[in-house]
Amino acid sequence: MKDLKDGIRSHVRIDFKGHVHKKFRGHQKSRRCENEARLLKALEERGCPYVPRLLEHLAEEDYIVTTNCGQPAPEISRTKSDALFADLEREYGVRHDDPEPRNVTYCPRLGRFCLIDFELAELLPEPDGIEREHRGIWKVTWCALSEGGTMRDSNDDACLALEVGPGGARRFEAHGEALLEPSHLVLAVSDGMGGGSAGELASRLILAAVKRKAGELYEALHGHGEEEGSSALLHLMHSAHEGLNSLAAEESDLHGMGATLTLIWLSPGHLHFAHLGDSRLYLHREEKTTQLTTDHTRAWGQWNRGEISEFAYRTHPRRSALYDALGAGHPGIRPQIESHSLQGDDRLLLCTDGLIDGIWERGLATELADHGESTDLASRILARARENNRDDDATLIVAKIAQL
CA distance 23 to 5: 10
- Is the Cα dihedral 218, 290, 355, 400 positive or negative? positive
Every domain of the chain and the residues it spans: 2-123, 138-403
H/E run at residue 281: strand 280-285
| 170-226 residue pLDDT tens | 888 889 888 887 789 999 999 999 877 899 999 999 999 999 988 888 888 775 556
DSSP state of 332: -
As assigned by CATH, the class of the 2-123 domain is: mainly alpha
CA distance 249 to 243: 10
- The whole model's pTM is what? 0.69
With cut-offs at 50, 70 and 90, classify the pLDDT of residue 265: very high
Question: Above 60 in pLDDT, residue 257?
Answer: yes
The fold adopted by the segment(s) 138-403 is: Phosphatase 2c; domain 1 (3.60.40)
Q: Which of 307, 291, 308 is nearest to 356 (CA)?
A: 291
With cut-offs at 50, 70 and 90, classify the pLDDT of residue 237: very high
Question: Above 70 in pLDDT, residue 270?
Answer: yes
CA distance 382 to 356: 10
